[in-house]
């Protein structure tokens, strides 16, 4: 033990004197301009003296005003063509170094140059990419100029808001010519028990020197307390110009497992030494955890049966567009987790490195989805196979044949060490674009009544025969899926391959599902039993769901169906073709500003194992319910209104005197009693309500509405009170101290309140945020999906009585920031922030 400690101390010392910081933040001090022409400039670099000074990440689309002249498929915001340039010094001692630039995401059709020399391109806006700058760097002491041309003139190239520009982080990576390449490690944990875990580490090492080297590789594992828990040395030889892969197996005693409740993280630090000197040091965060998927019994995390309580989300963050600060994601993910969410499906593309880092840290599972299009294009405005060819809607299909393997593998190499990533999804509802799948299912034929959640009338054999009888086609989905699955398995065999199938019965018959380890069903929960009967060896589960009790009940009643991913967890811009002024999709749990919606309370009632009761209200008129003439109870006019994401419930008790109001109470208590001004309105039971939402029809009377439930000692209640007119604005913030790093953010919420301090949710005010201090105003939002007010502003009209201001620290700017809101006839308190 003394020997190991001595070695660790010595190498810590070596790191201090010889190891170089590999990665430099490359987000600051960029120049940017929009141009009209889509063509590449003839001469580069360009004169950028008059260009806009910006810092990354940057989304130029969200800086524009919403306009009906644009398309709702991508949120009524423009695309265009932008050019970025950055001036920087050549790193010191570059003659013995390799210098790379790493882009986590550029949307899209990006081309890169250094000092006018072409580095390469990357059409896909969601895949990370990097370039070797070494040979193009200046050697005369003058500044280098990195140029990035981004062509998003085909701005309706997706079915949701994509954003435009260098919208994710950029890093400059400087390494010795003997080094571990970018994404050069792969850490797995093949054997785990209570006493020990085997950690398998595969490390690539590259020698760009003109001579061979004898090297020593020292690998240590550090736990989340900074303690070294395993160490191993290995000596080997690497030839000039070669890359080798080294395999090491280390044992960690008494491992702290990564799971949803205790997301314990470790680090592998790999040092490369030549003659006692460290040439490179590479850090790989990872978690120790096991995954088991059983076709009959579902999913087990670390041997524990686990329900996946998932949501689908897109990658925008409201007022910041797709250039989402880490603090915005942290706030949203924490609210979601508080509501019981334990998994995210990245719809329908890879998310950022930062997002996955947060999921690792917070204990959230991730289904990492790669593509929404493959061989054939989707119609971006109507979500089906392409109806008409337009320049502005040309999307990823234009690049898939050439770039598909590279985009998938670069994404996987970046992401495969994240313990949060537990599935790879190769695609989403791809069947729409392959001719014949509707015919194969038989669900579109007269008398069936539509494909939506219908049990097939054809037999398995009849579907297979129909598929085999289809005419010859250029692209066959089953073959494409097998190719993608093969690419995944080449890089990672520790996680299953899945896909979201919109016509699963046809996909099972065609062989598409044979390329998958897990067959993901998009909404078709009624087809589980039929599919399991006909394909008993398949593992079936939900990967996109509507948000009804039936969806969740399908998991409880069928152990094999372990997951539900509700569409969608957060409101997102786009998918709103010809719906002006509605700029986006109305989701379930959080709105555009990250405020809780009534659906958050509904899902918390089933996903969090604590007593819960909450209240929602809505006028009986147009509610989807009727009052039973005998019992007086609320009766649904159609099953559709029992889907929780279709609820129109408000979170207030303000209506006209005598107006009939539906009171909804989502709960996990068996019985709830409702009171109005201390008068009991009777009890309701979960046994009488198939969607687990209790309802009363109540003539409105001003005062206090109270729902009570629970046994003695475990009582819970929820209260709504009638409010009077707003007299003030109450400001609150999630943070009062910001790091002066240029990244940290604070969410300042303005809420209208009445004379009693109650939140007013039925009155609006146009207000202005006054910000005094060294901080950047990122923008404002009110959460409404019909609000087309500019995000880049300090003025906003509230929605449901509230609004959000988002501010961000400035790099190396410290001090106090004072924020207040002004509006006619309304007072405001003062919020003080400090940056340090």
- 755 φψ region: left (φ > 0), alpha (ψ -120 to 50), beta (else): alpha
Q: What is the DSSP letter of 258?
A: B
Q: What is the DSSP letter of 561?
A: -
Q: What is the mean pLDDT of residues 418-426?
A: 98
List 707's β-bridge partners, or say none. Answer: 674, 718
The tokens for 600 are: 């958050």
Please report which confidence band the pLDDT of residue 563 belongs to, taking 50, 70 and 90 as the band edges.
very high
pLDDT at 10: 36
Q: Is the pLDDT of residue 124 over 50?
A: yes
List, in sequence order, every beta strand (DSSP E) within 165-195. 170-176, 178-179, 185-192
Q: How far is CA 56 from CA 29, 62, 402, 835, in A?
A: 8, 14, 29, 20
Q: Is the pLDDT of residue 6 over 80?
A: no
pLDDT at 443: 94
The tokens for 187 are: 């850490």
Q: Which of 56, 75, 57 is CA-nearest to residue 66?
A: 75
Work out the mean pLDDT of the chain and round it to a whole number.
94
Q: What is the rounded distance in angstroms from the CA atom of residue 339 to the CA atom of residue 644?
A: 14
Q: Is the pLDDT of residue 1 over 60?
A: no
Higher pLDDT, 399 or 643: 399
pLDDT digits (tens, 9 = 90+) for 585-604: 988 899 999 999 999 999 99
For tokens 């005094």, name the residue: 772
Contacts (Cβ under 8 Å, ≥6 apart) of 690: 549, 642
pLDDT digits (tens, 9 = 90+) for 300-317: 999 999 999 999 999 999
Q: Is the pLDDT of residue 5 over 60?
A: no
Please report which confidence band the pLDDT of residue 20 belongs to, taking 50, 70 and 90 as the band edges.
low
- What phi and psi values does residue 486 have, to the nearest 5 degrees? -60, -40
Instruction: Pick the range with the lowest mean pLDDT from 417-431, 488-502, 643-657.
Output: 643-657
pLDDT at 387: 83
Cα pseudo-dihedral 90, 92, 93, 96, rounded to 10: -60
For tokens 């786009």, name the residue: 574
Q: What is the rounded distance in angstroms from the CA atom of residue 795 to the CA atom of residue 790?
A: 9
| CB burial string 630-645: b at 16+ within 10 A, e below | eeebbeeeeeebbbbb
Which pTM does this prediction carry? Answer: 0.95
Contact 706, 677 (CB under 8 A): no
The tokens for 462 are: 């009849």
Q: What is the DSSP letter of 69?
A: T
Of the chain, the end-to-end C-alpha distance in Å amounts to 42
The tokens for 800 are: 């449901």
CA–chain centroid gap for 195, Å, is 35
Contact 410, 486 (CB under 8 A): no
Q: What is the mean pLDDT of residues 511-530?
A: 96
Q: What is the rounded distance in angstroms from the CA atom of residue 617 to the CA atom of residue 651?
A: 6
Contacts (Cβ under 8 Å, ≥6 apart) of 206: 178, 179, 180, 181, 184, 242, 243
pLDDT at 2: 36
Q: What is the mean pLDDT of residues 484-507?
A: 98
Q: Is the pLDDT of residue 612 over 70?
A: yes
Q: Which of 640, 316, 583 is CA-nearest to residue 452?
A: 640
Sign, CA torsion 490/492/494/498: negative
Q: Is the pLDDT of residue 75 over 60?
A: yes
Q: What is the rounded distance in angstroms from the CA atom of residue 543 to the CA atom of residue 428?
A: 9
The tokens for 513 are: 């599902």
Q: Is the pLDDT of residue 441 over 90?
A: yes
List 772's β-bridge partners, or say none. Answer: 818
Contact 563, 299 (CB under 8 A): yes
Q: Is the pLDDT of residue 135 over 60?
A: yes
Q: What is the rounded distance in angstroms from the CA atom of residue 578 to the CA atom of residue 597?
A: 25
CA–chain centroid gap for 34, Å, is 28
Cα pseudo-dihedral 70, 74, 80, 81, rounded to 10: 180
Q: Which of 675, 678, 669, 683 is CA-nearest to residue 716?
A: 669
Contacts (Cβ under 8 Å, ≥6 apart) of 716: 611, 612, 613, 669, 708, 709, 710
Q: What is the rounded distance in angstroms from the CA atom of residue 593 to the CA atom of residue 802?
A: 10
> How many Cα atoms sit within 13 Å of 801 on the Cβ side?
23
Q: Is the pLDDT of residue 9 over 60?
A: no
pLDDT at 269: 98
Counting residues of the chain whose pLDDT is more than 70, the rounded percentage is: 97
- DSSP one-letter string for 303-354: TEE--EEEEEE-S--GGGTT---HHHHHHHHHHHHHTT--EEEETTS---HH
Q: What is the mean pLDDT of residues 441-452?
A: 86
Counting residues of the chain whose pLDDT is more than 90, the rounded percentage is: 88
DSSP three-state, residue 530: helix
For tokens 């598409």, name the residue: 512
Environment class of 581 (CB within 10 Å of its CB; exposed 0-12, middle 13-18, buried 19+): middle
Q: Pairing state of beta strands 421-428 and 497-501?
A: parallel
Q: How far is CA 198 from CA 252, 255, 285, 582, 731, in A?
A: 6, 10, 16, 53, 51
Q: What is the rounded distance in angstroms from the CA atom of residue 821 to the CA atom of residue 834?
A: 18
pLDDT at 550: 83
């Amino acid at each position: 033990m003394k020997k190991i400690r001595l070695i660790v101390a010595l190498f810590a010392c070596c790191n201090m004197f010889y190891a170089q910081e590999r990665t430099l933040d490359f987000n600051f001090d960029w120049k940017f301009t929009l141009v009209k022409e889509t063509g590449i400039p003839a001469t580069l670099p360009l004169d950028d003296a008059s260009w806009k000074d910006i810092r990354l990440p940057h989304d130029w689309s969200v800086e524009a005003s919403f306009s009906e002249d644009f398309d709702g498929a991508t949120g009524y915001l423009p695309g265009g063509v932008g050019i970025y340039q950055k001036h920087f010094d050549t790193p010191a001692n570059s003659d013995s170094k390799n210098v790379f630039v790493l882009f986590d995401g550029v949307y899209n059709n990006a081309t890169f140059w250094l000092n006018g020399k072409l580095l390469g391109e990357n059409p896909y806006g969601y895949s990370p990419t990097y370039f070797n700058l070494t040979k193009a760097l200046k050697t005369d002491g003058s500044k280098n100029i990195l140029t990035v041309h981004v062509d998003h003139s085909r701005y309706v190239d997706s079915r949701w808001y994509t954003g435009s520009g260098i919208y994710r982080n950029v890093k400059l990576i400087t390494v010795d010519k003997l080094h571990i390449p970018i994404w050069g490690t792969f850490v797995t944990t093949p054997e785990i028990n209570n006493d020990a875990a085997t950690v398998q580490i595969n490390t690539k090492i590259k020698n760009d020197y003109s001579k061979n080297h004898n090297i020593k590789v020292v690998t240590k594992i550090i736990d989340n307390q900074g303690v070294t828990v395993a160490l191993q040395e290995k000596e080997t030889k690497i030839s000039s110009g070669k890359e080798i892969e080294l395999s090491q197996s280390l044992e960690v005693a008494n491992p702290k497992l990564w799971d949803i409740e205790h997301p314990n993280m470790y680090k592998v630090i790999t040092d490369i030494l030549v003659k006692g000197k460290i040439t490179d040091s590479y850090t790989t965060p990872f978690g120790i955890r096991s995954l088991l998927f059983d076709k009959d019994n579902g999913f087990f995390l670390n041997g524990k049966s686990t329900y996946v309580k998932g949501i689908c989300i897109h990658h925008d963050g409201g007022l910041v567009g797709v250039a989402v600060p880490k603090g915005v994601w942290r706030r949203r993910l924490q609210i979601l987790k508080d509501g019981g969410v334990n998994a995210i499906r990245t719809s329908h593309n890879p998310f950022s490195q930062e997002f996955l880092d947060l999921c690792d840290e917070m204990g959230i599972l991730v289904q990492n989805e790669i593509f929404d299009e493959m061989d054939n294009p989707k119609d971006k405005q109507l979500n089906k196979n392409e109806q008409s060819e337009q320049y502005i809607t040309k999307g990823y299909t234009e690049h898939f044949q050439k770039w598909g393997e590279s985009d998938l593998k670069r994404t996987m190499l970046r992401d495969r060490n994240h313990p949060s990533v537990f599935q790879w999804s190769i695609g989403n509802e791809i069947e729409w674009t392959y001719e014949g799948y509707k015919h194969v299912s038989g669900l579109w034929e007269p008398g069936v009544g539509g494909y939506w959640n219908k049990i097939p009338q054809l037999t398995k054999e009849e579907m297979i025969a129909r598929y085999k009888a289809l005419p010859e086609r250029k692209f066959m989905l089953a073959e494409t899926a097998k190719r993608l699955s093969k690419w995944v398995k080449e890089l990672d065999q520790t996680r299953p391959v899945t896909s979201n199938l919109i016509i699963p019965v046809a996909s099972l018959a065609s062989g598409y599902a044979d390329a998958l380890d897990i067959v993901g069903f998009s909404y078709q929960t009624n087809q589980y039993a039929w599919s399991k009967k006909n394909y008993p060896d398949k593992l079936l589960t939900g990967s996109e769901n509507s948000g009804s009790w039936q969806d969740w009940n399908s998991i409880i009643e069928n152990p094999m169906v372990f997951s539900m991913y509700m569409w969608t967890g957060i409101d997102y811009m786009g998918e709103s073709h010809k719906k002006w002024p509605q700029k986006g999709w109305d989701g379930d749990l959080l709105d555009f500003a990250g405020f809780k919606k009534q659906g958050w309370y509904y899902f918390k009632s089933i996903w969090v194992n604590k007593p819960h009761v909450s209240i929602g209200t809505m006028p009986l008129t147009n509610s989807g319910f009727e009052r039973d003439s005998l019992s007086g109870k609320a009766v649904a006019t159609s099953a559709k209104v029992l889907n929780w994401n279709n609820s129109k419930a408000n979170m207030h008790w303000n209506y006209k005197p005598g107006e009939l109001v539906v009171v909804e109470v989502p709960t996990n208590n068996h019985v709830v009693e409702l009171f109005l001004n201390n008068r009991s309105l009777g009890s309701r039971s979960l046994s009488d309500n198939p969607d687990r939402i209790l309802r009363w029809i109540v003539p409105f009377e001003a005062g206090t509405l109270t729902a009570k439930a629970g046994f003695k000692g475990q009582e819970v209640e929820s209260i709504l009170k009638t409010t009077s007119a707003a007299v003030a604005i109450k400001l609150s913030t999630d943070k009062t101290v910001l790091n002066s790093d240029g990244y940290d953010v604070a969410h300042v919420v303005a809420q209208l309140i009445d004379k009693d301090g109650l939140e007013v949710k039925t009155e609006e005010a146009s207000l202005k945020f006054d910000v005094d201090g060294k901080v950047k105003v990122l923008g404002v939002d009110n959460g409404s999906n019909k609000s087309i007010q500019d995000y880049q502003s300090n003025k906003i009209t509230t929605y449901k009585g509230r609004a959000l201001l988002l501010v961000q620290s400035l790099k190396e700017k410290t001090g106090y920031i004072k924020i207040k809101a002004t509006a006619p006839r309304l007072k405001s308190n003062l919020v003080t922030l400090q940056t340090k």
